[in-house]
Structure 1
């Protein structure tokens, strides 16, 4: 009797097939239509070529519309791009070409680097190759054969890659027609399955293997999707993102700048700092009555960071300092040679504040908040405007509570986080629980207890939201000291931003010997909950600028109103209007320049001023104003008193409005 393999299908059914049966034959045995749609198989969750023989286990037939097929589409598109390049420019060497987030790239060695003008030619040739619909076929070669073949073709980089492949791994060669390349695979059945929903995006320089001592190659980036509509949507988002880039808007709105002498730290201009302070003031109000705002030192002895574990776990991301005298006199025994660290986070300082004075269980939970400036080293290539900096402010807080209070505190924090996001217009939120990582501190028993509580809280979050808040699990993504919730919000153009966190920590209080006195007069270690809502205030501001494309809500705009006059006859009235608006708390500037009103309106629109009030001789006589809103061609005329009331109402922050409404009730 011939050998067979048992395959378990997604519906739970089990079928037996002869040994050596390929994935394509399995698909064919189910239905001819499925076989036509199939692009790969998944064996026990691992993608494999359709031409691979099946092995016993769970099998899924992967079609082109399966989300998992997207990586194959992009991988195959990269190979087709490489073939197109070599057809157009014979002698060009192909190096590596992986799939990356949102696309793919290939690095090429060519005497004359590619330019953006070359991309349309390559795209055209790629379409020709895809239309040929040549099958992808796989061969396994010996190292000697692969080395000889690539050397004969002048592909020295491929020879180097062949030598780098571990001896215990097969050396696979994938063909698409006559063209071939060294590749791990898998691939789809043929080039035709790639489709035409692809685009080459840009060219860039890249050192071979990322080493600046190696030759410079040309990298071509591309993207591909299963459907043209998906590609069009992606390109639309990219175009929108470029228009909304907070660095560009920051210049136009005169908010901030960066410069070489302060890499990764922000130079806030007047308007930008005003917006920063508006955010800070809003967050302070949200904490009133529930948190104590504290301030821990900016610089602390290295020994404290050794105790906390950060020196061991996080040292490469920290800034260490000595006194200038110690640097100038390294051999001076009298000089203070102690090493200090700029704090990368606030938590150890907050533990010290909690420990100062005896705490009773009756005082718990103790909630400490700080708008603390922290510094973390980021590689210069990773810095990106406000989104990735080396010095930033955290809206940080730490709750010290009993283990029994932990679930209630996590829910209280959740309600606060969701409310804050809603005030800024973010309603699509995903909350995910990150569980224990491989490298961690603390016993499994502590992790079991913490994860069990947080799993229950996660269920409550989803239930209480009526399904509006989506939840999920991120296995192994927790902090080294405890599990955490991660809050991800979706912006106006569909991008996702991870901002808020809630992290449970049994480790840090233990390391520092923090305790409270329980009802039995015993010393008990508290649970420490780390929480942040904005995370980095700078990054959150960057997200807000891009989300609103600079069109900030009136309550949050750094400059809310410009009063512009049509003629000098109205200047005195313009001053009166501006003063009355300032009296009700609005940020107002005036523009009495001898320029045409349309010029003034255009100029202030570029700087994203939400409201421009236009005053002429007639308005001065009638005590009225013309209101022009950013992004609208219309202007509304109304009495000054009414305009002040309307704008004052709009400029009232949402949390203040709620308080006023509750008082009236």
Structure 2
């Protein structure tokens, strides 16, 4: 006899082993029909998993995150089965569930066209109608290898060969289709009816540019067609907000193959937005006691060897020269910290000097892989609101709190504070190559940071293996319109580099001691922040941030002189303005200005010229009618000064 404690606290007792799906049927037939997996003592298990002893069990459905993954993982297998039916010579790679859907990588003679995807999608619906039972079976490693070699699935063979000898390998079978997989999966294909294949792109096998380029097919699946339709509607809205599309249409940035991938060209309007942001951030940092530095964009490899970047980050750096041949090798900087540490070391310091808060708007360079780069979000050269706070142990929590307070203030002004989540990024003790090997320092520093975060009442998730190589960090995360999560801002506690650089201060007792260092970005990477703002506001940036705040439209050539007078007054008052002098109909000019997301469109004609007025059309309120020019100038100045959204 053993007991199973269910999610609601009730208990089921059995005197013989029972599969999770049978326990679900015992609870209710309705639950069994929608069950996708089980959660036993916190571990996700396949519905076929046999329970033999006391445990806590939750039956997962599509409403649960892990249940959704099992459902979509089955959809990925159905995709692979459909592809093999339509294109029998295709070789299978991998096909996991991902957020909002699934993908599968294929080795095909030529990439799939949209017509191919439509055909494959139709075949997936047939597989659902066939109601194929999904069976799990296991083989010893050698038999598993023989099976995949017989099927000429070279990628599956490679995966099995990576497993230790003596390993048991699991497979799933549906009809005549067999795939190497750990699961979990549904019981049958029949419930996966609402599917949509979204796109086909290139993807390197195992994510390495050294390997073959495969074709990756992305798809999504839901239990109901209505939910799929709603999801597709949301995706259409996301496309309208996609900064990579919208930013180009609005003339904020562009790219050019001759310049290179991951090297966006910021156009005048985009450069103006970045300038406004930079001035705003630097002025606020100065108010909070930061001192400005300006350091080189490159340095000798010697500097990076001291910091540890040469050992832990070299693959992500652009190196100038050959380390094997050249006497002096340089590298473009991926971070600012070693440079600011040298500024600290240029003078002696007492505890009375601390904290010292260095701030710098830095151009940084990171050798991102081609598959990772996207618009302004992930690039090879970017501009960071970088900073390092050198402080005593007693000052550490206050300085950490002040750094977070600055970040929260900036996010609130920009209107993004509700769109972010927080991640406490820790080291991975099993990955000694990635991190400075000092377990005690890691645990002590992580304990300190956890207490600080708890004192700040920040709701956060912990993530192993996401720390910087020299210390834990608070990562502020955001998702772009397509659901991809990236870090925009970080605050890090560094326990190691002060000692490496010989950074000391003389304490009250006359002894030299190593300070703590807080690495932080106040608004993160400016390019990434611009991308987020474009998507947040669908290109309609708040007036204080808009590259053009006002557009003046004369009704005809007779009013060009008055238009020029209006433009001059705006510029004298620091208002960013453009005028449209083209001989086009006024309705056409208004429509174009609206497409540019300009906050205020002002029409001037005979009445406005006579009365020194402007006819106001605002993005927020629509037609507002005639207004005295001076009154409108004061209104917009107040709006900009208050940084209204």
TM-score (norm 1): 0.86
Checking the alignment, whether the CA contact within 8 Å between 1:38 and 1:61 is kept in structure 2 is: no
* Equivalent-residue separation in structure 1 for 2:305 and 2:441 (angstroms): 22
Q: Is residue 426 of structure 2 the alignment partner of residue 435 of structure 1?
A: yes
> C-alpha displacement at 1:432, in angstroms?
2.6
- Is residue 40–residue 189 contact of structure 1 (8 Å, CA) maintained in 2? no
Residue of structure 1 in register with 2:574 after alignment: 585
Taking the aligned partners of 1:578 and 1:387, their CA distance within structure 2 comes to 35
- Cα distance in 2 for partners of 1:245, 1:634 equals 28
Distance 2:207 2:285 in 1: 47
Corresponding residue to 1:198 among 176, 195, 198: 195
Q: Residues 51 and 382 from structure 1, CA distance in 2 versus in 1: closer, same or farther, beyond 3 angstroms?
A: closer
Cα drift, residue 38 of structure 1: 2.9
* Deviation at residue 224 of structure 1 after TM alignment: 1.9
**Aligned equivalents of 1:274 and 1:380: distance in 2?**
28
Post-superposition Cα deviations, 1:436-477, rounded to whole Å, max 9, x if no partner, equal 332332644433432233222212222xxxxxx633322343
Question: Does the residue aligned with 1:595 lie in a helix, a strand or coil?
Answer: coil
Q: Residue 349 of structure 2 aligns with which residue?
A: 359
Quick one: distance in 2 between partners of 1:519 and 1:214? 58
Q: Quick check: 2:493–2:517 contact (8 Å CA) kept in 1?
A: yes
Which deviations, in whole Å up to 9, do the C-alpha atoms of 1:247-291 show, x marking residues without a partner? 333332222322234323332322222211111000011112311
Stretch moving more, 165-174 or 256-265: 165-174
Q: Any idea what the Cα deviations from partners look like across 1:209-240, whole Å, max 9, x if unmatched?
A: 77889887654321124555654454334323
Which residue is equivalent to 1:262?
Answer: 259
Separation of aligned partners in 1, 2:208 and 2:403: 45
1:650 aligned onto 2:639: yes
Aligned residue number for residue 48 of structure 2: 51
Pairwise CA RMSD = 3.3
Residue 273 of structure 2: aligned partner: 275
Structure 1 476/12 Cα, relative in aligned 2: closer, same or farther at 3 Å? farther
Specify which of 236, 241, 260 is matched with residue 239 of structure 1: 236
1:292, CA displacement in angstroms? 0.5
Confirm or deny: 8 A CA contact 1:566 1:616 kept in the other structure.
yes
Give, in angstroms, the shift of residue 622 of structure 1: 1.8
Q: Would you say the 8 A contact 2:281–2:522 is kept in 1? A: no
Partner residue of 2:101 out of 100, 103, 111: 103
Instruction: Classify 1:36/1:545 alpha carbon distance in 2 versus 1 (closer, same or farther; 3 Å).
Output: closer
Cα distance change, pair 590–76 in 1 and its aligned pair in 2 (3 A): same
Gaps in structure 2 of 5+ consecutive residues: none
Q: Deviations over 1:90-114 (max 9, x none)?
A: 6655554333343222345666753
Distance (Å, rounded) in 2 between the aligned partners of 1:36 and 1:269: 55
Report which stretch shifted further, 94-103 or 558-567.
94-103
How is 1:157-168 mapped onto 2 (pairs within 5 angstroms)?
Answer: 167-168=165-166
- Give distance in 1, aligned partners of 2:186 and 2:73: 9
- Corresponding position of 2:37: 40
- Measure, in 1, the Cα distance between the counterparts of 2:57 and 2:373: 42
In the TM superposition, residue 515 of structure 1 has moved relative to its aligned partner by 1.0
Q: Please give the per-residue CA displacement for 1:367-426, whole angstroms capped at 9, x wherever unaligned.
A: 110001111111233222211111111101111111111111111111111110010111
Pairing of 1:138-537 with structure 2 (within 5 A) = 138-141=136-139, 167-194=165-192, 196-205=193-202, 218-226=215-223, 228=225, 231-263=228-260, 264-289=262-287, 290-322=289-321, 337-428=327-418, 429-438=420-429, 439=432, 440-441=435-436, 443-462=438-457, 470-489=459-478, 497-537=486-526
Work out the CA distance in 2 between the residues paired with 1:32 and 1:62: 12
CA contact (8 A) 1:237 1:493 kept: no
Contact 1:252 1:606 in 2 (8 A): no
Aligned CA distance change for structure 1 residues 646 and 61 (closer, same or farther; 3 Å): same
Q: Is the 8 A contact 1:442 1:506 kept in 2?
A: no
Secondary structure of 1:184's aligned partner: coil
Relative distance call for 1:141 and 1:400 in structure 2 (3 A) is closer
Cα distance, 1:410–1:99 mapped onto 2, change above 3 Å: same
Distance 2:103 2:510 in 1: 64
Q: CA deviation at 1:508?
A: 0.7
Distance in 2 separating the partners of 1:142 and 1:493 = 41
Query: Counterparts of 1:137 and 1:268 in 2: how far apart (Å)?
Result: 54
Residues 615 and 627 of structure 2 are in contact (CA less than 8 Å); yes or no, is this contact kept in structure 1? Answer: yes
**Tell me, what secondary structure is at the counterpart of 1:259?**
coil
* Distance (whole Å) between structure 2 residues aligned to residue 297 and residue 113 of structure 1: 45
Deviations 1:18-49 (A, max 9, x none): 56432233334555554444332234443332
- Equivalent residue for 1:129? 127
8 Å CA contact 2:141, 2:167 repeated in 1: no
Deviations, residues 282-307 of structure 1 (Å, cap 9, x unaligned): 00111123110111222222111111
Report whether the alignment pairs 1:598 with 2:598. no
Aligned residues: 637
Offset, 1:115: 1.9
- Looking at structure 1, the residues matched to 309 and 208 of structure 2 have their Cα atoms a distance apart, in angstroms, of 30
Distance change (3 Å), C-alpha of 1:407 and 1:192: same
3-state SS in 1 of match to 2:313: helix
1:6-25 mapped onto 2 (5 Å cutoff) = 17-18=14-15, 20-25=17-22
